[in-house]
Structure 1
């Protein structure tokens, strides 16, 4: 799919807020008469208007004293080649790769309702990167990200700013398996090594020698990432992407997409003409005003709220193909920080236990972080970001103290919670465009591994949009069509 830049973008001028004169008719393309108490709506972007209509609206606004400054109108661009909904790590990565391809040819607007990223999934993650997956695509995505981070100064440095330092800690992941899961874990490691990942399969004896602080009761085998795995500072990476994008000309907008404007058209079918619709503009609410901004295509990078954005476009609320929703919803997860003076040493890995808990070191002062995903019956409310400390006391700590006896004595220091963009169908990425709304694209549903895949997803989606296919990593199995064909993709033997 090639992007043709509209010539109208060179003719766009600043207009006042439009106030409909008495008896005026609003178009059927998404506009409606304002009612008392509604936010003011800036005129729909991209609609052709004659010079006479422009002068008439400007005169009417001047007469009524309703004049909008140029700086206020430009809070939200009237039109862009590409609009990205969500400016977190995924959205910023997509914007980066699009502008890298040709900085001058493509205009990109990123709409983000939380510019401080206080609730962003990536900023609240533990920042882990692993190559140990059971699906080859996920392995390749992580390996690409590892290589990207090795060269981050080359990719994301900005003139007159210090190069980004994400403080990568290359300790690797350690997956443990019970006798029941041992065979699958070994098979996973075999495939990982064939792709190029540096993963060691460790027997009980080898585990006991390298990690003497482990209680290996119920453990048959482990796999350990020797190279390219570890963790880093997610906030620094998000900030580096955003600073680079701003330098490349990406427009970041503090706002929220609250709707799309739909245009109906008819196509010939077996039973006569069939009515369909398309979208080419969004309603963006910013500081109490709704702006209308046109695009050639839109990319849903809204993280945990991606399902809601898809519904605004009619995905999951219509008929036939449009009756199938984007299966992404927010799930709250807790991260606990504790201190244990006698805990594992500085070379301890990020451990994943068969019971579901994980832990890793945090710095060099004998601080650690840990967490565990709840069962479906234990899923916490997403109404807030409050932390349930009883969950640590009753669920996480007993399992952790059993596996690492040194953790029987520890002190809770702090905790936080964040939202996963959880794909409840198969917990894997959804990428590509919708089969009905061809200019509506997805980059959603990472279910906890979005941080480690974001740089690769941005590049893959750029290739798909500009070149028409995935080139660096083939992600064709991860498109929306798998939900239509019931061809779901599950990770096996991986927590």
Structure 2
């Protein structure tokens, strides 16, 4: 029977898989693992805050795009889009499971210089080869489709109306948790305070909880979001992931646009899109350091001095707008290359990463959960090869190249 209440202590002293962190990525791994007919082990998910109030999951803007420059990132999002559109089918046809809203107004990347315009053109060719619907647009084409933009400084754009836009990721998250629990996954409200290896240091043997229990582990998954480096540090592993603030603003327009606003990536770094009857904008701060794990304080000057002027410049109708809500969330920011770190550690083989998504976590969570479940069950990836995101590149200081990072 499903219950939303979490126990504080595990029921057993040994688990085949322990997942540290029960938000979007941790629950994706748990669900894909529990539904895999070839996996018959026990799964424990440890979540320190079952309200998820301060997780990246709770502060996400929940968007999907095919517009990446690396083929593997495109394919990851294509699977994510397929998963969203066929969610009930993936959930076994469960009639309780709702259809997921997916508003496909696309991403609009605006280029204000020849170098970036060429980058967009090259990316469009790669995306098209992968089956994405991205179009490289001239200024006249942009103006014809979206006459509300001010385009005096723009020379080209990329836009895709197929499988790109906003989706209701929180409903997916809720059903992953619910279904995982119904299939025997145990969630506990607790915190890992230490991880112990064997005498040779190549295998995790136990984890110790804040409540004092020492639990034997077959395999351990680090799914602790912006806190991933703290978890890795318990094993003496240095992970280049840190929390960085990202700001989100919901606003109303006195003169609403006559059509959906694509998720527009302005050359300034501010992005904006439709949000139901309202609009959403977001950005990083101009100075973007790592912050404390519990620092969600907003800098309200960012709206007044940066975001609003940029919105009004790009879309003159946004000169008269009213801020309705705002918040600061944390990216789990990979300082090496702003891409995921996924798969087993090179030496501690039963310690696996699903970290460092740098803002891509929601849209990539279906493919990543499936991939980690495959690695745990079979010792290899069987659908998408996620090895380019492996830990070896961290050790070798070899960044994964992805040009389309927001």
For Structure 1 versus Structure 2, the TM-score category normalised by the shorter chain is: over 0.9
Deviation of 1:226 (Å): 2.0
Aligned pairs for 1:318-467 (under 5 A) are: 325-364=238-277, 367-376=278-287, 382-467=293-378
2:222 is equivalent to residue 300 of structure 1: yes
> Can you give the 5+ residue segments of structure 1 that lack an aligned partner in the other structure?
1-70, 266-275, 316-324
1:147-296 equivalence runs, <5 A: 147-156=82-91, 162-179=96-113, 180-265=115-200, 276=201, 278-285=203-210, 289-296=211-218
- Point out the more displaced range, 479-488 or 466-475: 466-475
For residues 91 and 361 of structure 2, the distance between their equivalents in structure 1, rounded to whole angstroms, comes to: 19
Larger radius of gyration: 1
Quote how far apart the aligned CAs of 1:208 are. Answer: 0.5
**SS at 1:123 equivalent:** helix
2-structure distance, mates of 1:300, 1:151:
28
- Shift of residue 104, structure 1, vs aligned partner: 6.6
Q: CA deviation at 1:148?
A: 0.6
| Contact 1:157–1:244 (Cα < 8 Å) also in 2 | no
1:234 CA drift (Å) = 2.6
CA distance in 2, matches of 1:493, 1:277: 36
CA contact (8 A) 1:348 1:360 kept: yes
| Partner Cα separation in structure 2 for residue 345 and residue 423 of structure 1 | 38
Change beyond 3 A, Cα 1:257–1:359: same
Q: Distance in 2 between matches of 1:98 and 1:377?
A: 36
Any conservation in 2 of the 1:165–1:236 contact (CA below 8 Å)? no
| Aligned residue pairs, count | 400
Alignment of 1:133-144 (within 5 A): 133-144=68-79
The alpha carbon displacement at 1:293 in A equals 1.1
CA distance in 1, matches of 2:391, 2:232: 12
State how far apart, in whole Å, the 1-side matches of 2:192 and 2:244 are.
Answer: 21
Matched, 1:89 2:11: no
- Distance (whole Å) between structure 2 residues aligned to residue 121 and residue 370 of structure 1: 17
SS in structure 2 at match of 1:164: coil
Q: How far apart are the structure 1 equivalents of 2:350 and 2:158?
A: 42
1:56 counterpart residue number: none
Task: Find the residue that maps to 1:227 and give its secondary structure.
Answer: coil
Q: CA deviation at 1:380?
A: 5.9
Q: TM-score, normalised by structure 1?
A: 0.77
Q: CA deviation at 1:382?
A: 4.8
Deviation larger for 420-429 or 468-477: 468-477
1:493 CA drift (Å) = 4.8
SS class of match (1:242): helix
In structure 2, the CA distance between the partners of 1:103 and 1:464, relative to structure 1 (3 Å rule), is closer
Query: Take 1:343 and 1:473, find their aligned partners in 2: how far apart are those partners?
Result: 42
Mean alpha-carbon deviation: is it higher for 253-262 or for 181-190? 253-262
- Relative to structure 1, the CA distance from residue 378 to residue 462 in structure 2 (aligned partners, 3 Å threshold; closer, same or farther) is closer
Aligned residue number for residue 32 of structure 1: none
Distance (whole Å) between structure 2 residues aligned to residue 390 and residue 379 of structure 1: 19
Distance 1:450 1:261 in 2: 28
Contact in 2 for aligned 1:282/1:292 (Cα 8 Å): yes
| 8 Å Cα contact 1:128-1:451 kept in structure 2 | yes
Q: In the aligned structure 1, how far is the partner of 2:400 from the partner of 2:173?
A: 28
SS of the residue corresponding to residue 441 of structure 1 reads strand
Q: Which runs of 5+ in 2 are unaligned?
A: 1-5
Aligned partners of 2:134 and 2:161 also within 8 Å: yes
Q: Which structure has the higher relative contact order (CA within 8 Å, separation 6+)?
A: 2
CA drift of 1:492 comes to 1.5
Question: CA offset at residue 173 of structure 1?
Answer: 1.0
Q: Is the 8 A contact 1:164 1:237 kept in 2?
A: no
Aligned to 2:46, the other structure's residue is in SS state strand
CA distance in 2, matches of 1:371, 1:182: 23
Task: Please tell me whether the aligned partners of residues 157 and 164 of structure 1 are also in contact (alpha carbons under 8 angstroms).
Answer: no
Q: CA deviation at 1:79?
A: 1.1
Separation in 2 of the partners of 1:142 and 1:250? 26
- Partner secondary structure for residue 391 of structure 1: helix
The one-character-per-residue Cα deviations of 1:9-55 (angstroms, maximum 9, x if unpaired) are: xxxxxxxxxxxxxxxxxxxxxxxxxxxxxxxxxxxxxxxxxxxxxxx
